[in-house]
Structures are given as C-alpha cells and as structure tokens.
Chains A and B, each alone.
Chain A
Amino acid sequence: MLTLIARRLLTVIPLLLVASLIVYGLVELFPGNACTVKLQKHATQEKLDACMTAYDLDGPFPARYARFLGKAVQGDLGKSILQERRVSDLILDKLPATIELSLVALAIAFLFGTWIGTRSALKPGSWIDAIGQIVSTAGVSIPVFWLAMMVMSQFAGKDAWFRLGGWDATTLGPDVAYATRFYLFESLFRLEFDAFVMSIRYITLPALTLATIPLATITRMTRSSVLEEASKDYVTTARAKGLPEKLVIRRHVRRNAMIPVVTITGLQLGVLLSGAVLTETVFSWPGLGRAMISAADSRNYPVIMGCMLLFVCVFVLVNLLVDLLYLWIDPRMRVSGA
C-alpha cells in the first residue's frame, strides 16, 4: 500500500513540472505588458527597462523559467507588479474564501444529491424521480453565472436576511480579525456565534448557486449506482432472510452504492474550486478566481502565474487524494490499479 502511494505521488511530480512550464509559457504569450500598465504616462525607456529587470520579464525564456521554478519550489512566487505584495501572501489572503465557498457548495450538493438520487432510484416514476431528472439535466444546462445573476436579482434591494456580495472582517462583526481568513470555519471553531451566523448570511446564496453544478452529477451518479446495486443478488438474499426494507436499503444497498458517488464527489471538488471563477465574479466574492481574472486583465504576470499554478496543484492533489481514497475503500483496486 505504501509503495503504491509513493508511486502515485511520484507520477505527480513530472506532471506538475510540465504544467508549470505550460503556465509560464502561456502567460508569457499574453499580449501587453504589466510594466507599461504600472508606469502609465511616466514610462521612459530606462524606467521600463528597470521594471522589466526587477520583475524578471526580460531575457532568455529558459533562464527565466528556471529561476521562476527554482523559487516557486521554495514557495516564493515573486512579487505582484501593481501592488507591492508578495504573491504568496496575496494567495493566502484569497484562497480561504474560495475553499470555504467550494466546500459548503459541495456539502449542500452531496446532501441533496444523494438524498434525491437514492429516493428516485427506489421509486422510479415518482414525483421525486421527476425532480431528480430536472435537477440533473438543468444543472448541466443552466449557465451558473446567469443563475447567480437571477438569484441576486431576487434578493437585491429588499431588506433580505441573505447578504449579497463578498464578506470581510469589517462586515462580519466588530472583532472578527481572523488570521486564517476562514471566517465561516474559524468563527464556528471559536464558538463566536454572531460572526458565524453573519458568515452564513453571506455564504448561503453563492454556495447554493455554485452547488447546482455538482448537484446534477451527484444526483445522476447516485441514482444509477443505487439502481445497479438494488438489483444484485445479495439484496435479494437480505430481503429473503426477512430483513426490513429500510435496513436492506440502509445497510446494504446504500453503503455499496456510495463508493462511486464518493469518488465523483471528490472529483467535483477540483472542478468547483476553479469553477468558482464565474460565481465569484457575479457575487464579488473575495476569492482566488476573481483575483486571477483581475490580475490577467492588468497583465500582472506573477499573480496570474501564482494563481494558475495553485489551481493546477489543488486540482491535481484533489484528484490524487480521491484516487488514494478509492484504493483504501475498495481493496480490489489495489491489485488491478497498481
């Protein structure tokens, strides 16, 4: 098992190396220049050259990439060109909001998705099955940013309980100055309920909107998985030995049916973390996706590269974790998966 994990981990390293080269190369190809944006009218040739040298934008590509990679491995992603900040600080500032939004959305999707999926598999043709069908087709067809706009329209203007827009320390309460910036989790952890309720008022609408994407996949997956398990012989055996229907479902069918659902849920997390880009834009959520877009707009190369690289790393690591989790849940995979 350990060698297997080690082997999987080793395959990730070349993958990330190539990915970092692609990120660096792509961003390099962006037309325009952050230094001209920064200096604006004051740009003289000397100042421009100095700026280009300071941010390592000048010179042969391979050498610059090597320097970038060398520093990135040590956690140093350079400095933002427009604000005098380290990119790693900026990311640590924005990432928690994205993670919280994604995790809450995923939790909502998992709860509702497995419930609707199981119910509709057990009673095909019922009203809940119809809802399941609608949810799983609508979720992959409705543009999430439009849904976000519709939700905001519904709640804007009125004195609604839900808050629109992003949160920060000042909007959540008088003494909310969490170093981690995981406002939702940390307020709960510290048992500061005012701040916790306030964060819920902020996160509910964006999270519900974002949840529609994984909800569709999870519902569909649960339904087909439960349907498949329910027709197997061991279920007939369980019924034949006189087990109440509820227990047959809970102990036998659902447990086995959940294996692929857990996998797909994990994979959705990677999709969500980056899919939040659009939702964050509409809800002005202070997350990494929005930071990446605005950095790309101003050609702030170090920030774009940092954000993209982080998205890739998170995506790859989540997928790897799901892979390993799967090995752990299902021992048969250990043989064939090696």
Chain B
Amino acid sequence: MVLVGLVVLMAIAAPLAPFGPAAATDSLDDIDPPNHPTPPSSRLLLGSDKQGYDVFSRLLHGARATLLTGLAAIGLALLIGVPFGAVSGYAGGRVDNLFMRMVDVMLAFPSIVLAIAIAFVFSARNLTPIILAVAVVNIPTIARQVRASVLQAKTHEYVLAARAMGLGPGRILFRHVLPNCMAPIIVVATLGVGWAILSAAGLSFLGLGPPEDQAEWGVMLQAGLEFIGSGKHWILVPPGAAIAVTVLGFNLLGDGLRKALDPRAR
C-alpha cells in the first residue's frame, strides 16, 4: 500500500521539477512592444506583460533560472556543509565543540534576515548574490544532519575494521563512513532545493537579484506588483503558480525519498 503511494508520489514529483529547460529551448523571448499588456490569445498563450514580453516564454526561461538557483545554492551548501559536518562528527571533542558553536551562531539568525544581508553584500544585478545568500543560509542545517549521521555511522564495526587495517582518519571518513551516510543527506538536500527556490524567489522579489528584464519568476512577480487589482491575472498568476508547483515537486520528491530510504518511516 504505502509503496504504491510512494511510487505515485515520485511519479508526480519527478516530471514536475525538470519540465522547464527541455521545453524552453524551442521558444525564445518574443517581443511585441506597442500594445503593452495584452490578454492571453491563441498566439500568446499567457498574454504579454508591460514590456511586451510573452509571459509564457518568460515563464519557461524563468524555470531555467529557478532550477539553476536552487540546485547551485544547495550544491554550494553541500560542498561546504558536508565536509564541515563530517569532520565535526568524526573528530568529536574540541573540534566538534568549536564547529557546533559556529553552527549555533548561524542558526541564531532568522534565515531570511541573514540571507538578505548576504545578498546585499554581494550586490549585483544577476543571480549570484541570491545563490550565495541561499547557500550560506543552508550550510548549518546540512552540517547538522551530516554530523548526526556520521556520529551514528562511526559506531559501526566496519569503521573499527578499517582502523585496524591502519587506514588514516581522512580515508576512513570520506571513503567509508560518508558513503554510508548518503541517504539522509540526499533527502535533506532534496527538501533543501525546494526551500532554496522559495527563498531565492523571495530575494529576487525584493529586488536583490536579476534586473527587471531578465526572465526569472521572482522578478516577474515584482513587476506584477503594479497590476494588483487590475484584473490582469495572466501577469500575476503564472510565475507564482510555477514557483509553487516546482517547490511542491521537490518537497514531494524529498518526502518520497525519505520514505524509500528510511526504513523507520515506512
């Protein structure tokens, strides 16, 4: 029963997330300047926006920006968070204490506030500040998860065996312990991508990222602010719905993975 539900969940989730880039390649920004926002028609499926951009193609191109931001941010966070947490958990003692205090300090910041500050530090009119901000904010969560898994894994006998064979701590940790901790890390990372996309959209909505004319969902929503109450739903609805569906996809995928990988949750 549960397994069937799981398969259905993953089937729903998988095609949702990566739908954008594949479809985006065959449509380019179609500019039609004079008539400003036009309602949806057979030619422009979702109408056009203030600058005359086709909302539908911007939406598809925005999917690329969004997936790039989410994956790059989580990738970066993993790159730093995994070694950080692994060393902390494996070394224990003072190193662990110091590292965890650092994590505590980062967690003392409300994540959005910290992300906004970091995005301002790297002020630039592109995706970079957003990616960096979201990545940094995600590091403590990932580091904690990795540490917890490593702590648990290092009590297993194969670690003792590896040590008895005279392997160094670095080799044991990265070649033996860490690969055995991959399952929870993958789950946390997948759920993290959803969260990253959500907060990245928030940051670019606040104007901390790409310029107005770039196809990015948060930016499109920011431009839509002036159309609130104008009845021009084709400008307001699609970008937000796209964000929601993508995030939902990653969340369902993460939940599905958790159920598949963690025997206790079944």
Residues of B within 8 A of A282 (CB): 225
User: In the complex, are the beta carbons of B105 and A141 less than 8 A apart?
Assistant: no
Q: Complex Cα distance A152/B224, Å? A: 12
User: In the complex, are the beta carbons of A270 and B236 less than 8 A apart?
Assistant: no
Asked if A258 is an interface residue, CB under 8 A from chain B, the answer is no
Asked if B260 is an interface residue, CB under 8 A from chain A, the answer is no
User: In the complex, are the beta carbons of B123 and A30 less than 8 A apart?
Assistant: yes
User: In the complex, are the beta carbons of B104 and A277 less than 8 A apart?
Assistant: no
Residues of A within 8 A of B111 (CB): 274
Distance in angstroms from A214 CB to nearest chain B CB is 14
Residues of A within 8 A of B108 (CB): 15-16, 19, 312, 315-316
Classify the interface of chain A: helix, strand, loop or mixed.
helix
Residues of B within 8 A of A145 (CB): 202, 205, 221
Classify the interface of chain B: helix, strand, loop or mixed.
helix
Asked if B110 is an interface residue, CB under 8 A from chain A, the answer is yes
Asked if A264 is an interface residue, CB under 8 A from chain B, the answer is no
Asked if B159 is an interface residue, CB under 8 A from chain A, the answer is no
Within 8 A of B (CB), among A124-145: 137-138, 140-145
Within 8 A of A (CB), among B184-213: 194-195, 198, 201-202, 205-207
User: In the complex, are the beta carbons of A143 and B244 less than 8 A apart?
Assistant: yes
User: In the complex, are the beta carbons of B251 and A140 less than 8 A apart?
Assistant: yes
Residues of B within 8 A of A31 (CB): 121, 123
Residues of A within 8 A of B239 (CB): 146
User: In the complex, are the beta carbons of B116 and A296 less than 8 A apart?
Assistant: yes
Of A20-28, A245-253, A329-337, the one with at least 4 CB within 8 A of chain B: A20-28
Query: Counting chain A CB atoms within 10 Å of each CB, which of B116, B123, B228, B239 scores highest?
Result: B228
Given A141-B194, A274-B112, A23 and B248 contact (CB-CB distance below 8 Å): no
Distance in angstroms from A250 CB to nearest chain B CB is 29
Residues of B within 8 A of A157 (CB): 229
Distance in angstroms from B245 CB to nearest chain A CB is 8
Give per-residue flags for A283-299: 1 if the beta carbon is below 8 A from chain B beta carbons, else 0: 00000000011001100
Residues of B within 8 A of A137 (CB): 248, 251-252
Q: Count residues on chain B whose CB falls below 8 Å from chain A CBs.
A: 39
Q: Complex Cα distance A275/B199, Å? A: 10
User: In the complex, are the beta carbons of B110 and A274 less than 8 A apart?
Assistant: yes
Residues of A within 8 A of B195 (CB): 140
Asked if A45 is an interface residue, CB under 8 A from chain B, the answer is no
Q: Complex Cα distance A18/B108, Å? A: 10
Q: Complex Cα distance A277/B111, Å? A: 11
User: In the complex, are the beta carbons of A270 and B110 less than 8 A apart?
Assistant: yes
Considering the complex, give the chain B residue whose CB is closest to the CB of A311: B113
Given A141-B194, A141-B244, A153 and B236 contact (CB-CB distance below 8 Å): yes
Give per-residue flags for B115-143: 1 if the beta carbon is below 8 A from chain A beta carbons, else 0: 01110110100000000000000000000
Asked if A149 is an interface residue, CB under 8 A from chain B, the answer is yes
Asked if A43 is an interface residue, CB under 8 A from chain B, the answer is no
Asked if B109 is an interface residue, CB under 8 A from chain A, the answer is yes
Asked if B247 is an interface residue, CB under 8 A from chain A, the answer is yes
Given A296-B116, A308-B117, A149 and B110 contact (CB-CB distance below 8 Å): no
Q: Complex Cα distance A30/B208, Å? A: 12
Q: Complex Cα distance A297/B207, Å? A: 10
Asked if B82 is an interface residue, CB under 8 A from chain A, the answer is no
Asked if B240 is an interface residue, CB under 8 A from chain A, the answer is yes
Within 8 A of B (CB), among A15-72: 15-16, 18-19, 22-23, 26-27, 29-32
Residues of A within 8 A of B116 (CB): 277, 292-293, 296
Residues of B within 8 A of A22 (CB): 105, 109
Checking B202, B229, B233, B252 against A156 with a beta-carbon cut-off of 8 angstroms, the contacting residue is B229
Distance in angstroms from B17 CB to nearest chain A CB is 12
User: In the complex, are the beta carbons of A141 and B248 less than 8 A apart?
Assistant: yes
User: In the complex, are the beta carbons of A146 and B244 less than 8 A apart?
Assistant: yes
User: In the complex, are the beta carbons of B123 and A143 less than 8 A apart?
Assistant: no
User: In the complex, are the beta carbons of A292 and B113 less than 8 A apart?
Assistant: yes
User: In the complex, are the beta carbons of A26 and B229 less than 8 A apart?
Assistant: no
Give per-residue flags for A302-321: 1 if the beta carbon is below 8 A from chain B beta carbons, else 0: 00100010011001100000
Residues of B within 8 A of A144 (CB): 202
Give per-residue flags for B213-241: 1 if the beta carbon is below 8 A from chain A beta carbons, else 0: 00000000100110011000100110110
Residues of A within 8 A of B205 (CB): 143, 145, 278, 281
Asked if A176 is an interface residue, CB under 8 A from chain B, the answer is no
Asked if A150 is an interface residue, CB under 8 A from chain B, the answer is yes
Can you list 20 contacts pairing A with B, beta carbon distance less than 8 Å? A137-B248, A137-B252, A141-B194, A141-B247, A143-B202, A146-B221, A146-B244, A149-B225, A149-B240, A150-B236, A150-B240, A152-B228, A270-B110, A274-B111, A275-B112, A277-B112, A282-B225, A304-B117, A311-B109, A311-B113
Q: Which 10 pairs show the lowest CB-CB distances between chains A and B?
A: A156-B229, A146-B240, A274-B110, A141-B248, A141-B247, A29-B121, A157-B229, A142-B244, A26-B117, A311-B113
